[in-house]
Amino acid sequence: MSHTAHIRSHRKPRRTAQSALAVRAGVAGGVLSTLAVAGASGSANAAEPVTQTLELPTLTADLAAQIAQSADATQQAAANYQLQAERDAAAAQAAKEAEADLAEAKEKAEAKKKAAEEARKAAAERAARDAERTTLSASASTATTASAPASGSVATVIAFLKAQVGDAYVMGASGPNAWDCSSLVQAAFKQVGVDLPRVSQDQSMSGTDVPLSQVQVGDILYWGGKGSAYHVGVYIGGGQYLDAANPSKGVVIQDLSGYPASGAVRVL
């Protein structure tokens, strides 16, 4: 027997069935608690991917919204740039058209100015020719034969013809500023009530034939055959005649010596 066996506190307590059961229950409880904690931890760990998976659509939707907003902003910016480009192009076109209109207006103004100047010159020339109208030039009095018939009809014819000197020659024209040979003669005699045919061939057949040695002021001269004449003029005295010569000369006074006539007729 141990020398401490009589001391009560040093004796080992006996395990009863109940205490053993309690120990076992405690151990089991601890195990279960550990398993519960582990299970809870596992459940928590297992739940984390689910939580992340649920949050992912939210993040994706936000990103899509940002992308959509960025695309809208880009599209709006592009539309603004296109609108500005169209405005700039329209402004450039308008400026170009305005410049063209200004150039055209300047051209028209220059044309009007030039036309006005030409009209002024023509009026001055016409006034000068009108001032030259007289009963008859001094040279007309030197006709080779009898004097012109009375009544002043010849003087009127000659005055009209001289007023047209400087006008243009245009085939088929009949005044007031352009003539051909026969229209000028026709217009001159119409001033005194004599109606002549329009063309030179017929005019050479009018009135009375006059020998070239006996022509007087107011007689019609013709070139070519009688009835087939190709040119006419009017004798104004002093060995000269007045006619609408050709496009280069226009209406002029010329010497018979330079271009002798083929014949002459008298209608006054």
CB 212 within 8 A of CB 264: yes
Count of C-beta atoms within a 10 Å radius of residue 214: 13
Q: Are 211 and 144 in contact (CB under 8 A)?
A: no
* Assigned CATH for 135-266: 3.90.1720.10
- Would you place residue 92 in the very low, low, confident or very high pLDDT band (cuts 50, 70, 90)? confident
Both ends of the chain: CA-CA distance in Å? 200
- Which range, of 137-141, 154-158, 222-226, 241-245, averages the lowest pLDDT? 137-141
The strand pairing partners of 254, in sequence order, are: 241
Question: Is the pLDDT score of 149 beyond 80?
Answer: no
Q: What pLDDT shows up at residue 182?
A: 98
Instruction: Report the predicted TM-score, pTM, of the whole model to 2 decimal places.
Output: 0.47
Enumerate the domain spans of the chain.
135-266
- Strands 208-210 and 220-223, bridge-based pairing: unpaired
